[in-house]
């Protein structure tokens, strides 16, 4: 049985987007052409790969099985391009990273920028997810590299200590909590919060942790970005849960107070994971080393 790489790429894009229209756009064809090619692929395989639902395109069990093989196939294509690329001018490639919000904003983004400048032929795709979901996603080949906080029981991953961070409460300078040297989250939950977006891993962690205390987060509003959150806190709108690593140059000491949390989970050990059986092209190995060896990141592990 013969397969066209272009059809398999279309299948991959539809599966990742859960949308025929978005998958078609990703490979620069019309939805009608994508539907025709997908139908031919399913007929060649003798089974349906997707279930068409009001929510979009859901993979069938056969589609789930095929997705793993297609991802592995395109990893092989990336390795081939990387190996051949050593004999021509420049290195070409694509790296996929998923990480929680604190590692993305506090550590990864500056390092990623320097890497892309050093390797102009490499493109990157980054996505924010909750820490709890990242190990399984890397194992399922949804990304090449994952960075997350906390432990993981997922087998089949090579784990590297990445960075150490701490969650803190940031308040307006004149807030009633500002004079305290530290506090517990339960006390902070009695006050109004400025939160990150509802889909951000930072907010979801705050919401889920508050529920463990039997409380809800009193969110006055959701902002898109830590810069906006910090500005709103400084303006007196509310308090916020933030990783210390993202404060850096954003910190306005005359307008906000930073309070350590007396909680064991406030100390965040971030891990970097890749699949144990991964046979990466050289540029992804370079990317992993670039992340781990960044001096600003490495010093937090000391």
Which tens digit of pLDDT belongs to each residue from 115-146? 999 888 888 999 989 898 999 999 988 899 99
Q: pLDDT value at position 251?
A: 60
More confident residue, 284 or 249: 284
Average pLDDT over residues 239-264: 83
Q: pLDDT value at position 159?
A: 94
- Helix (H), strand (E) at residue 160: strand 157-172
Long-range contacts of 218-221 (CB under 8 A, 24+ apart): 218/189, 218/191, 218/192, 218/193, 219/192, 219/193, 219/194, 219/195, 220/192, 220/193, 220/194, 221/194, 221/195
State yes or no: pLDDT of 60 exceeds 80: yes
State yes or no: pLDDT of 76 exceeds 90: no
Label residue 132 exposed, middle or buried (CB < 10 Å: 0-12, 13-18, 19+). middle
State yes or no: pLDDT of 3 exceeds 80: no
| Alpha-carbon distances of 35 from 10, 11, 62, 148, 209, rounded to whole Å | 10, 10, 18, 37, 44
Average pLDDT over residues 193-199: 92
Q: pLDDT value at position 250?
A: 61
Q: pLDDT value at position 218?
A: 94
Q: pLDDT value at position 255?
A: 79
State yes or no: pLDDT of 90 exceeds 70: no
Q: What is the DSSP pairing of strand 240-243 with strand 145-149?
A: unpaired
Average pLDDT over residues 161-165: 93
**pTM across the whole model:** 0.66
Q: How far apart are CA 241 and CA 192, in angstroms?
A: 11
């Amino acid at each position: 049985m013969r397969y066209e790489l272009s059809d398999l790429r279309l299948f991959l894009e539809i599966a990742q987007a859960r949308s025929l229209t978005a998958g078609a756009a990703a490979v620069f064809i019309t939805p009608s052409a994508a539907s025709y090619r997908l139908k031919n692929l399913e007929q060649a395989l003798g089974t349906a790969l997707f279930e068409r639902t009001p929510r979009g395109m859901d993979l069938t069990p056969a589609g789930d099985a095929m997705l793993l093989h297609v991802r592995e196939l395109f990893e092989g294509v990336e390795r081939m391009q990387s190996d051949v690329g050593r004999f021509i001018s420049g290195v070409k490639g694509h790296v996929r990273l998923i990480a929680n919000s604190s590692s993305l904003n506090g550590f990864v983004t500056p390092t990623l920028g320097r890497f892309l400048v050093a390797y102009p032929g490499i493109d990157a795709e980054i996505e924010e997810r909750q820490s709890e979901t990242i190990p399984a996603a890397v194992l399922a080949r949804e990304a090449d590299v994952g960075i997350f906080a906390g432990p993981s029981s997922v087998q089949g991953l090579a784990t590297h200590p990445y960075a150490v961070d701490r969650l803190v409460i940031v308040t307006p300078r004149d807030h009633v909590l500002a004079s305290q040297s530290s506090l517990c989250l339960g006390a902070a939950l009695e006050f109004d919060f400025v939160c990150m977006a509802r889909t951000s891993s930072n907010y979801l962690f705050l919401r889920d942790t508050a529920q463990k205390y039997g409380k809800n987060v009193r969110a006055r509003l959701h902002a898109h970005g830590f810069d906006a959150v910090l500005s709103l806190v400084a303006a007196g709108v509310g308090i916020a849960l933030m990783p210390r690593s993202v404060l850096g140059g954003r910190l306005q000491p005359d307008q906000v107070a930073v309070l350590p949390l007396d909680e064991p989970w406030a100390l965040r050990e971030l891990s970097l994971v890749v699949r144990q059986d991964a046979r990466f092209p050289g540029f992804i190995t370079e990317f992993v080393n670039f992340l781990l060896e960044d001096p600003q990141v490495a010093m937090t592990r000391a």
